[in-house]
């Protein structure tokens, strides 16, 4: 099971094991990461699961879909070059140890 390190905006770190094949968003919600709102439940329709992926991990992620790119323009906290929607990242063993930074707010 890949472990993901979530870093809150106050720099609090939390390491969570997430089942492979689950999305980063599903793992966060199932483990009560309250900074991930996930209003649409993972349908890539709301941008309330916005995260910042530590740059060293970006090459291990799937490419952004056109829908994800469009929604990242609608986030509550401005998009950065390492912004992703966590519902669009399915975890694989290669992502073990990935560091994900959470924005101050989602809405």
Structural domains in the chain, sorted by start: 3-101 (3.10.20.30)
Give the C-alpha separation, 83 to 51, whole Å: 6
- Between CA 1 and CA 26 the distance in angstroms is 14
Contact 77, 51 (CB under 8 A): no
* pLDDT tens, position by position, 48-106: 999 999 999 999 999 999 999 999 999 999 999 999 999 999 999 999 999 999 999 99
**pTM for the whole thing?**
0.96
């Amino acid at each position: 099971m890949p472990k993901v390190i979530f870093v809150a905006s106050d720099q609090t770190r939390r390491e969570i094991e997430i089942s492979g094949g689950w999305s980063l968003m599903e793992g966060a919600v199932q483990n009560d990461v309250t900074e991930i709102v996930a209003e649409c439940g993972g349908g890539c329709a709301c941008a309330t699961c916005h995260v910042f992926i530590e740059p060293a991990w970006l090459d291990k992620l799937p490419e952004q879909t056109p829908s994800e790119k469009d929604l990242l323009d609608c986030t509550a906290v401005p998009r950065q070059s390492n912004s992703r929607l966590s519902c669009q990242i399915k975890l694989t063993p290669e992502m073990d140890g990935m560091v994900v930074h959470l924005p101050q707010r989602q809405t």
